[in-house]
Amino acid sequence: MGISSDVMPQMGSRIEGKHGIYELGGELGHGGNGIVFDVHIVDRKDDFLREGQEVVIKILKISHIKNIEEREKDENAFNEKSKLFEKL
């Protein structure tokens, strides 16, 4: 799963996503364009995620992208990757 944000949340932050409300656990990794967190599902919107399923989320840092075209291109690529991971 993925969420893009101008403000990078911290461990313990709650984020509303496509399939529910997620609470960020520990940071699992980071790179030039985002951070990957372990996630705990606080409130489930649907049955897409199984009970007890391990979930991670990558939050894309879009504030470092200078122009709108680059930002849109990166967000589109990020969303495509998210769709691929949802299928796994």
Tell me which range, 26-30, 40-44, 77-81, is most confidently predicted by mean pLDDT: 26-30
Q: Does 5 score more than 70 pLDDT?
A: no
Q: In terms of pLDDT, which residue wins out, 33 or 56? A: 56
The total number of structural domains in the chain stands at 1
* Domain that includes residue 33, residue range: 2-86
**CA atoms within 13 A of residue 43's CA, in its CB half-sphere:** 5
Calpha distance 52→23 (Å, rounded): 14
pLDDT, one tens digit per residue, over 49-58 is 777 778 888 8
- pTM of the predicted model, to two decimals? 0.61
